[in-house]
Homo-oligomer: A and B are copies of this chain.
Amino acid sequence: MENGKVRVCFYPEDRCIEVDKGENVLRAAMKADVHINASCGGEGYCGKCRVIVEKGDVKQKLQVKLSEEEIKRGYVLACSATLESDADIRVPIESQIGDKSALTRRPPIPLKGYTLSAKDWAERLPQWELNPPTTKFHLVLDKPTLEDNLSDAERIKRELSRLAGLKDVVVDFPMLQVLPGLIRAASFDVTVTVLDRGQELRAVRIEKSDTSQGQAAIAVDLGTTTVSTQLVDLQTGKVIAEASDYNGQISFGEDIISRIIYSTRSTGLAKLQSAAVNTIWNLIQQMVEQTNMEYCNITHLCISGNTTMTHLLLGIDPRYIRVDPYIPVAQYFPWIKASNIGIRIASGVYMRCTPGVASYVGGDIVAGVLASGMFNSEKITLYIDIGTNGEMALGNKDWLISCSCSAGPAFEGAGVKHGMRATRGAIEQVRINEVTLEPMIITVGNKRPIGICGSGLIDALAELFLTGILDERGKIKTELSETNPRVRQGDWGGEYVLAWADESGTSRDIVITDPDIDNLMRAKAAIYAGINILLEEVGMTVDMVEEILIAGAFGRYLEIDKAIIIGLLPDVDTERIKFVGNGSLLGSYLMALSKNLIAEADNIANMMTYLELSTNNKFMDQYVSALFLPHTHIDDFPSVKLRLEEARETARLGREAGGEGA
């Protein structure tokens, strides 16, 4: 237990788990499925989450709301205390609010799936090797003489041939323009970067003296909402800096469709291109500033984005993506100079956009499928990237089929009254006590809640449903308002109060409303319908899928059991569900390091079939059936059916016990 892990036991539940040393007590309780009443997000403001440390070293960060007497008795506020050693923690009745006996009945399913590790990737991608598309060669050239009077360019080519056996290298035109001055200023001791474009080796850049030791690439996931980047050391293959930010295009429209519409304005396309370029460039600057790397160490960029984002980045008109029959301009993009699109980097730095499959299955999915290794495997795998669109690919090494279903931006917090992105103060986890209907919330950064993000919304939806606050059609049972103030009639239908105004960071009640839930229902129904239609297309059932990989930044916080409860994911053994993290970024990273994988990405884009859903009647049927909790066909969700029954029973028992306990 010394290496960073501690064991904590919660009483009276007598439930023990292992967590990282330094873990927040409230988060540990959430993991252990122990309910502690908490609704201020962790600023110690509401003071409700008092627990007693019976054993162990628990560090209290904030001192508010506890008297000296309480501190002596071992009280801490769970939201702002950390576990520094193994510990026993008792949750007193006032923080617990509910019937422990009932709570223990919850099935011990993993709250979060297994996230694939670096070792997993290595096994999944045997063709990976550290062999980037660009290589720097330090060349100490023979100085020209009357006898050895080769041109500067041929001198370089001769040395590349001698040193590395490279043949037929083409010297890039802009390099010729700097060559004569530089090569002499460097006394013929230079470093030349060679780009392997697949069909051709090209010397793209020359620098003075030996710069071959510092070589880095930029991996980019160009998302509609978020742009994530990595600075990758090409010698070690390690990520040496990461940075992400909102896509600067957001101010021209939240989603793909509004961006495409904006792009058709007179200077719209140029503005959108420039916004994406600036976002990427700012992130590159941030990363360079964090490290020893310099701009001149960067030799190439690998960028994966959905088809629209890739078009906009390259200044290619995307307007036909959104009109029937939904045709992109291109799937494959040549290596181009990054400076050609306005990235303020040396002109010899080339970039490559990962190829896509169709208008709504882009390079981000191809990159993810690449990273997943599913194209290498016999195993039937389902890859799902949940964002504004739910994009998914099904298959194995012999075939791949993909589709995209418009989930809407609800999971990203848009179209939801207090929705927000997963930034500070966003409610990211929610538990609701079956008996009291009181919530337990955790916010990003342990700040007072100011809204709710995607994972919080899924949690909330599942909890509201399990606790019977929602009916099967996703409507809040406003009749509960008679017995519980958290449920009430709002302007637009029922609503549930997640945090009261005096606990929130906005001094307003944080609520989730019927219209919010409608949006979430549509989103989850679209994704579930997409999965089913892919399976139907290839004549398979979900049981035949050996692995489900969840990608997307969002996936990192998704709780699998909650996703199954609301019918977003099929009711399968949760062992079969794994998290890829940001598959698009991971694929970009892997391609930046290995030119073999760049070629594989082309193969994947080429072999993958695309199923257009927007006009598919079967999809509409599937979608309508999925607009229930968990689904019209409850028998497809046996574990949820069971759990619902248990929850109803718990609530009944709890109400009886609670009646006594109150």
A residues in contact (CB < 8 Å) with B: 144-146, 149-154, 168, 170-173, 176-177, 179-181, 184, 199-200, 314-317, 319-320, 324-334, 336, 340, 358-359, 610, 612, 615
Contacts and interface: CB of A to CB of B under 8 A. Distances in A.
Given A151-B331, A199-B200, A330-B171, A176 B316 contact: yes
Nearest to A143: B325
A357 to B, nearest CB: 9
B615 A151 contact: no
B145 A176 contact: no
Contacts of A359: 149
A169 to B, nearest CB: 10
A615 B317 CA distance: 59
B172 A334 contact: yes
B334 A152 contact: no
Contacts of A324: 146
Given A170-B334, A327-B151, A331-B154, A315 B199 contact: no
B336 A173 contact: yes
B328 A199 contact: no
30 contacts: A144-B325, A149-B359, A151-B328, A151-B330, A151-B331, A151-B358, A152-B320, A152-B328, A152-B329, A153-B329, A153-B330, A153-B332, A154-B331, A154-B332, A168-B199, A172-B334, A173-B314, A173-B333, A173-B336, A176-B316, A176-B329, A176-B330, A176-B333, A177-B314, A179-B316, A179-B329, A180-B316, A180-B329, A181-B317, A200-B200
A317 B328 CA distance: 42
Contacts of A314: 173, 176-177
Contacts of A331: 150-151, 153-154
A503 B173 CA distance: 55
Given A144-B327, A149-B612, A153-B331, 8 more contacts: A146-B326, A151-B327, A152-B327, A153-B329, A168-B199, A170-B199, A173-B333, A177-B316
A177 B612 contact: no
A350 to B, nearest CB: 11
Contacts of A150: 327, 331
Contacts of A181: 317
Contacts of A610: 149
A325 B153 contact: no
Contacts of A320: 152, 180, 184
Nearest to A171: B330
A615 to B, nearest CB: 6
A180 B308 CA distance: 13
A313 to B, nearest CB: 12
Nearest to A157: B332
Contacts of A180: 316-317, 319-320, 327, 329
A320 to B, nearest CB: 5
B325 A149 contact: yes
Contacts of A319: 180
Q: Most B CB atoms within 10 A — which of A172, A181, A325, A336?
A: A325
A171 B612 contact: no
Contact of A330 (B144, B179, B199, B316): B179
Contacts of A340: 173
A331 B268 CA distance: 43
A328 B137 CA distance: 22
A378 B87 CA distance: 94
Q: Most B CB atoms within 10 A — which of A151, A170, A176, A340?
A: A151
A589 to B, nearest CB: 24
Contacts of A151: 327-331, 358
A438 to B, nearest CB: 50
Closest 6 CB pairs of A and B: A153-B330, A151-B328, A199-B200, A144-B327, A180-B329, A146-B325
Nearest to A197: B200
B177 A330 contact: no
A326 B149 CA distance: 7
A461 B283 CA distance: 74
A224 B584 CA distance: 54
A359 B502 CA distance: 82
Contacts of A170: 199, 332, 334
Nearest to A154: B331
Nearest to A170: B334
Contacts of A316: 176-177, 179-180
B177 A315 contact: yes
Nearest to A155: B327
Nearest to A324: B146
B330 A146 contact: no
Contacts of A327: 144, 149-152, 180
